[in-house]
Amino acid sequence: MTVDCAVFPAANIQSGSEEKMCTSFVLHEDRTYIGMNFDLSERPIKMALSGEHQLLILQKEGGRFLPAIGFNREGIFMNLHMVNPNEEGKYKRNKNSIHMMRLFDEVLTEKVKTSVLPIYLEEKEIVNVPDYSVQSLIVGLNKNSFIVEPGRKHIDTHEREDDFLVLTNFSVRDAMEHEDMTLQGPGSDRYQIAFDELANRKDDFSVEQGLSILKQTAQREGDYPTQLSIIFSPEDESIYFSLKGDFKRLYKFSFSDRMITTERGFERDFGLLVKKRGVLLSELEGWD
């Protein structure tokens, strides 16, 4: 599993350990743009359909594929970023507790509508699954998005003056409670870059501008390099992505035909239908 993002003015940032990676953001203008760098150690990663209208990014761990990122055709998005654990968010079982993987499923299948998610998050105790600590960027309909961290109060864009959120691998809620707005911990440098780029954007935002932010925050060294970079444009029902920091080559997945196609940077045009069993990203690397 993985996750990354944040949501308040960047100031007095202190870089921390880069043990855990990932950067994600959402921008709500006339259109919505969702971006994410999926950073983790080398391993099989695949894209797979779940039903007709949901696409999952899964990574192999412990002999099985586990979901890390999800999209649906209506424009809902949810990811899972690693974050340092806190006592209140540890796994527990009671009738009022909902663990993050259940929340992931209920949000993407719309069993829990994002319009009522603030009430749901207040009524339920969100906890981690055993042996993991994650936080999530959730993008809903009607230009409302959330950062959810087990054991912490959620963050809602309707509470913010900014029209964007950024997430990396430190607790955004904890950082917001510091009077001097000091941010520290894993991903604080990547947060600063993404925040500044979104805050200082000019003219209308675009897929290319989103990719530029991902390029600047991509990890090219260390144990957790960027394996996948994604821009989701819900109005286009399309997901644009690059592999392993190669932003010259761009792929596209469309919900309209469930196809992965070459968008730019290839000598020939390729296409592949995505099915329930999924497509390994390594299969796409051979396209030229």
Q: Which CATH superfamily is domain 5-283 in?
A: Penicillin V Acylase; Chain A (3.60.60.10)
Q: Please check whether residue 178 is in contact with residue 162, taking contact to mean a CB–CB distance below 8 angstroms.
A: no
How many Å apart are CA 190 and CA 229, to the nearest integer?
14
HSE-up of residue 283 (Cα within 13 Å, Cβ side): 13
Q: Which residue has better confidence, 267 or 8?
A: 267
pLDDT digits (tens, 9 = 90+) for 140-178: 988 889 999 999 889 888 777 789 999 998 878 877 776
For the chain, how big is the Rg over CA atoms in Å? 18
**So what's the pLDDT on residue 18?**
38
pTM for the model stands at 0.90
Q: Please check whether residue 2 is in contact with residue 79, taking contact to mean a CB–CB distance below 8 angstroms.
A: yes
pLDDT digits (tens, 9 = 90+) for 262-286: 999 999 999 999 999 999 999 999 9
**So what's the pLDDT on residue 205?**
93
Q: Please check whether residue 233 is in contact with residue 202, taking contact to mean a CB–CB distance below 8 angstroms.
A: no
Q: Please check whether residue 195 is in contact with residue 229, taking contact to mean a CB–CB distance below 8 angstroms.
A: no
**So what's the pLDDT on residue 171?**
79
